[in-house]
């Protein structure tokens, strides 16, 4: 069984992961409305992935004889800017998630809870990938200089090529 502080932190992380899913789904809706189906598809796949991350934390709580305490998920923004601005937001959001996971890891280490530390290794590695993906797309968007042909190329050949996990 987890300590009360770790259980609370993991429950808060579940909420953050589910919010991430909602955020990316809202971004997908924005891209669908802007006729950028590749960007929308990428965001939908990301939304699904984030939901699965929340569920990994959820399942872990029950694996260690603790319990989930679900709270309301905040509404994501309803409007967004350019693709470059959106991916800047994605990168900043993922950096925040990384910091949150690191805080839980530090707590588990301080409490001498190796099972939670080990579980979090997967998430730490995943966050390296999440930040790199966001940075790579942001870098490509910067290269387009906002040029619509460049954005369309990325939409069709880069983001649209992502396959859901």
Among 1.20.1260.10, 3.30.365.10, 2.60.40.10, 2.120.10.30, name the CATH number for the domain at 4-71+79-161: 1.20.1260.10
Look at the pTM and tell me if it is higher than 0.85.
Answer: yes
Which residues, in sequence order, are CB contacts of 97 under 8 Å at separation 6+?
16, 17, 20, 127, 130
**One digit per residue, pLDDT tens: the chain, 165 residues?**
999 999 999 999 999 999 999 999 999 999 999 999 999 999 999 999 999 999 999 999 999 999 999 999 999 999 999 999 999 999 999 999 999 999 999 999 999 999 999 999 999 999 999 999 999 999 999 999 999 999 999 999 999 887 766
What are the tens digits of pLDDT across the range 5-16? 999 999 999 999
- Tell me what pLDDT residue 165 has: 63
- Tell me what pLDDT residue 164 has: 65
What are the tens digits of pLDDT across the range 43-79? 999 999 999 999 999 999 999 999 999 999 999 999 9
- Tell me what pLDDT residue 45 has: 96
Which residues, in sequence order, are CB contacts of 31 under 8 Å at separation 6+?
37, 39, 40, 43, 83
- Tell me what pLDDT residue 163 has: 72
> 67: burial class by Cβ within 10 Å (0-12, 13-18, 19+)?
exposed
């Amino acid at each position: 069984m987890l300590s009360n502080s770790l259980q609370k932190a993991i429950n808060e992380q579940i909420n953050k992961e589910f919010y991430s899913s909602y955020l990316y789904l809202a971004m997908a809706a924005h891209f669908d409305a802007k006729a950028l189906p590749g960007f929308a598809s990428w965001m939908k796949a990301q939304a699904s992935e984030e939901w699965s991350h929340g569920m990994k934390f959820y399942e872990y709580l029950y694996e260690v004889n603790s319990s989930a305490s679900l709270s309301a998920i905040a509404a994501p923004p309803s409007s967004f800017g350019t693709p470059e601005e959106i991916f800047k937001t994605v990168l900043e959001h993922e950096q925040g998630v990384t910091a949150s996971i690191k805080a839980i890891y530090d707590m588990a280490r301080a409490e001498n809870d190796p099972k939670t530390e080990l579980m979090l290794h997967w998430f730490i590695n995943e966050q390296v990938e999440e930040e790199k993906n966001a940075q790579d797309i942001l870098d490509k968007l910067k290269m387009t200089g906002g040029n619509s042909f460049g954005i369309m190329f990325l939409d069709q050949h880069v983001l649209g090529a992502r396959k859901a996990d």
